[in-house]
Amino acid sequence: MTTITTNNPFTSPFLNQLILTPSLLPFSNEELLDLDRDLNQYEQLFLDPDIEKNLLSKNELLASFAISKAENSTLTLQEAQDVYDFLLKNEDYSFISGKLKKGKKLLQKDYEKLEFFNIAKTFREYQEIQIDEVTPDFILQLHQKLTQGLDVFQTHLPHFDVYKSGKWRDNDNIRVGEYKPAPYHEIETGVQELVIWIQNNRAITSIGIFHTALYALHPFTNGNKRVSRILEHIFLRSLGVNKKNLYSTSYYYHKEKARYYKYLLFSLERKNLNHFVGFFQEAFALSILSVVKTSLEVKRKAFLDSQNTDEQITRICKPLIKKHEVQFKNLFKNVNGKMARQTFVTYLQQATDQKIVNRREVGKTTFYSLNISPQEEGTFNTMLDFIKTKLTFIPDEIKLA
């Protein structure tokens, strides 16, 4: 019978209840580091400078947007972009105070815009913080910056949860589902232990453990997910991982929000760190793979745009940008109701004749793909094949790219 070693990473009364079984996690620390090294090598050798520049500009926006969406914000990406453009001008977000001076009522959308502004501003400000600079007081300051000005909405919005910006939770009324967080009088001791622990255990997986344990403490009345995610990003960068800020675990959390909450709650209720730490490792690995996927899609789009062909052919071939190969019936679904089947077949045959697409038959099933094989495909498939040996779940939008 195989012996499974379970340990308790922490010693303070509440945190000591949390268990970890490293052998049951999907990846080792070295395997995660290897994935980041592979991405660095790929970026150095093959990543187009224009694509890299686009990834860099988008990632900060998308990471901040994803963190705001963790709070069930209705903010659209375009609205977030508008607020972000305002931030890039180094201006304060004075719109809220302007409305108050005019005696106007503040709306939910006003709250969401200020919430996003705080996140994006803090995200930019704390990019280069090192692990040794993180203290309990720093975490309080981080919460204060992320939630600055939000409590003004208490008198404007129904069912508003106050933040008590920059202050530890001072009561035991908080529940996360059926989960009861640490007693409030143990918060400062618990946070202090976590800070010392992460400084003495500098590894990628340790960051997932820290994230889970900090949220288990629930040190703030509101805003704990924001603080945990910003700290996660700070710690990864401090380890020298994601040096160019090309990817974000927070955006993966947003894309897989239901599973994010599921595994976080599993870890809390079962006092088992493995559930969320394993999901954190999944997010880390697939976020790296998504960088190569994005580069691959850009190359495919450039190839399709460069073809001197009928715009209808370009239209029906667009699904092949995001997916390496698409079955005929699924390709037709994208234009179903907008184009007759025979017309679609005619255009697809023209695309094949013009060598824009390749056709592959397996029995009675026909598949189509763009007639391009960029370097990204080999890199992507090698990384994907390895990750498949580690994870039981990979989103279709990644797996089929």
Phi and psi at residue 55, in whole multiples of 5°? -65, -40
Q: Is the dihedral of CA 237, 242, 245, 248 positive or negative?
A: negative
Convert 249-281 to b/e letters by CB count within 10 Å (16 or more is b).
bbbbbbbbeebbeebbbebbeeebbbbbbbbbb
- Reply yes or no on whether the pLDDT at 286 is more than 80: yes
Residue 86 has what pLDDT? 84
Portions of the chain given CATH number 1.10.10.10: 308-399
Q: What class, spelled out in words, does domain 308-399 have in CATH?
A: mainly alpha
* Number of Cβ within a 10 Å radius of residue 48: 15
Query: Confidence class of residue 356 from pLDDT cuts 50, 70 and 90?
Result: very high
Which residues face 327 on adjacent strands?
Answer: 367
* pLDDT-based confidence at residue 329 (cuts at 50, 70, 90): very high
Per residue in 387-398, pLDDT (tens digit) is 999 999 999 999
Dist. CA 336–CA 296, nearest whole Å = 27
Q: Where in the chain is the domain with CATH 1.10.3290.10?
A: 24-294
Q: What is the pTM of this model?
A: 0.93
Q: Residue 1: what pLDDT?
A: 52
For residues 352-363, average pLDDT: 95
The C-alpha angle with vertex 279 and arms to 276 and 284, in degrees rounded to 5, equals 125
d(CA 83, CA 77): 10
| Secondary structure (H, E, C), 82-132 | HHHHHHHCCCCCCHHHHHHHCCCCCCHHHHHHHHHHHHHHHHHHCCCCCHH
Can you tell me the distance from the alpha carbon of 148 to that of 115, in angstroms, rounded to the nearest whole number?
Answer: 8
- Calpha distance 361→315 (Å, rounded): 22
Residue range 16-42: mean pLDDT, rounded? 95
Backbone φ and ψ for 152, nearest 5 degrees, come out as: -65, -25
Per DSSP, the three-state class of 142 is: helix
**Structure token digits, residue 71:** 């709070």
Share the mean pLDDT of the chain: 92
Give the residue-averaged pLDDT of 89-98: 78
pLDDT reading at 230 higher than 80: yes
pLDDT by residue (tens digit) across 149-181?
A: 999 999 899 888 889 999 999 999 999 888 999
The token duo for 120 is 């994006």
CA distance 99 to 188: 37
Does residue 19 sit in helix, strand or coil?
strand
pLDDT of residue 104: 87
Task: Give, in order, the Cα–Cα distances in Å from 252 to each of 69, 80, 364.
Answer: 12, 18, 36
Give the pLDDT confidence score for residue 20 in this predicted structure: 97
- CA torsion 87-112-242-271 (nearest 10°) is 150
Alpha helices in 126-200 (DSSP H): 136-147, 187-200
**pLDDT, tens only, 56-81:** 778 888 899 999 988 778 999 999 99
In the predicted model, is pLDDT for residue 337 greater than 80?
no
How many CB atoms within 10 Å of residue 68? 24
Name, in order, each residue with C-beta under 8 angstroms of 299's C-beta and a sequence gap of 6 or more. Answer: 48, 372, 374, 376
Cβ atoms of 168 and 227 closer than 8 Å: no
The β-bridge partners of 357 are 370
Q: How confident is the model over 110-126, as a mean pLDDT?
A: 92
pLDDT over 70 percentage in the chain: 99
Average pLDDT of span 125-145: 95
For residue 372, which phi and psi values (nearest 5 degrees)? -150, 140
Mean pLDDT, range 371-394, rounded to an integer = 94
CATH class of 24-294: mainly alpha
| 369: helix, strand or coil | strand
End-to-end CA distance of the chain: 40
Backbone angles phi, psi at 220, to 5 degrees: -120, 155
Task: List phi, psi (to 5°) of 149.
Answer: 80, -5
SS3 (DSSP) at 231: helix
